[in-house]
Amino acid sequence: MDIQKEPFGIHNGKEVFLFTLRNNKNMAIKIMSYGGIITSIVTPDSKGKPADVVLGFNTLQEYEAGCPFFGALVGRYGNRIGKAKFTLNGKEYQLAHNDGKNHLHGGIVGFDKVVWDVEPIKNNDGVALKLTYHSKDGEEGYPGNLQTTVTYLLTDQNELKITYEAKTDKPTVINLTQHSYFNLAGEGSGDVREHELEIHADRYTVTDNELIPTGELRAVKGTALDFTKSKTIGTGFQQNKKGFDDNYVLQKEHDGLTLAAKVHEPKSGRSMEVYTTQPAIQLYTAGGIDGTLKGKSGHFYQQYGALCLETQHFPDSPNQPGFPTTVLNPGENYHQITIYKFS
């Protein structure tokens, strides 16, 4: 097992580094200190042939120029907050409008656009990076000084284990997630309609035309969103031609790690399982990709050329009292774990 570090550019006067984690099973993950971004996940197929299975770029400048959150570490609040505001303990907080009238993925300069401090770690579990960032009171409109730690661990079981931790000095809201775009056939190799998907959720959060939840939880049974049994993503597209950008309510009997989703790509034989302590998972099939972004292997990324499985709390939870709370108070520890396991 090995960790390598190399310079990757300068952002706002701070040096950015690219770290490569390697295990003993022919798997390698590259992570940038800018945005905690996963730029590459190389993993073998059923014949042992390695390929990079996440969308991304070769240079820092391409990430800085603006991309749809490729590989990003998202915060303070992943997904949307309606009307870009919320009320906490009787006080209204105004956030940035960066998604029409609404607030998306932490704002204009979210956690995906700052340089994190990174500490490489080797232990019996594998090779890891410990990322830390201090988000100041009022940053992007959020209350409280938030000390955030995210640990990326690569094990010899071909697991990427992500541990999210945070503490605050004022009541605030928090919803951290990881926004990698997966194509298990290899990035830039075409769309993901033939990927077979299973999601352990029997309900989803109904949204309005701006993707803000109405508060209703509706059964997936009988709809295009029903992945309770494995089926190709293309089968769902036959009913839902715009693809998917939906939050699934996971079937959880406890707060610990549970299996949330499985993906299988039949040609390569690659599979990925997603385990999480979070109550929900967002399925996004990259409908916003339009064929104009050239990826790291020289291919232009096409619409539906990847899928995201973002483990999270529900969108707009600060404005939805019936949803699981995303409030973090002083003295409390925010702690969530997600595992992406490749085979």
Q: Would you name the residues annotated as active-site residues?
A: 179, 310
Are the CB atoms for 307 and 197 separated by under 8 Å?
yes
Q: In 3D, which of 264, 104, 287 has the Cα closest to residue 191?
A: 287
Q: How far apart are CA 217 and CA 202, in angstroms?
A: 10
Q: How far apart are CA 316 and CA 254, in angstroms?
A: 23
Neighbouring-strand partners of residue 133: 148
Sign of CA dihedral 242, 243, 245, 249: positive
Q: How far apart are CA 171 and CA 136, in angstroms?
A: 13
Q: How far apart are CA 235 and CA 273, in angstroms?
A: 20
Structure tokens that stand for 46 in this block = 């059923």
Instruction: Count other C-beta atoms under 10 Å from residue 202's C-beta.
Output: 15
Helix (H) / strand (E) element for 9: namely strand 2-11
Token pair 């993503």 is at which residue?
233
Structure tokens that stand for 94 in this block = 């105004």
What is the 8-class DSSP label of residue 256? S
Q: In 3D, which of 237, 249, 224, 209 has the Cα closest to residue 80?
A: 209
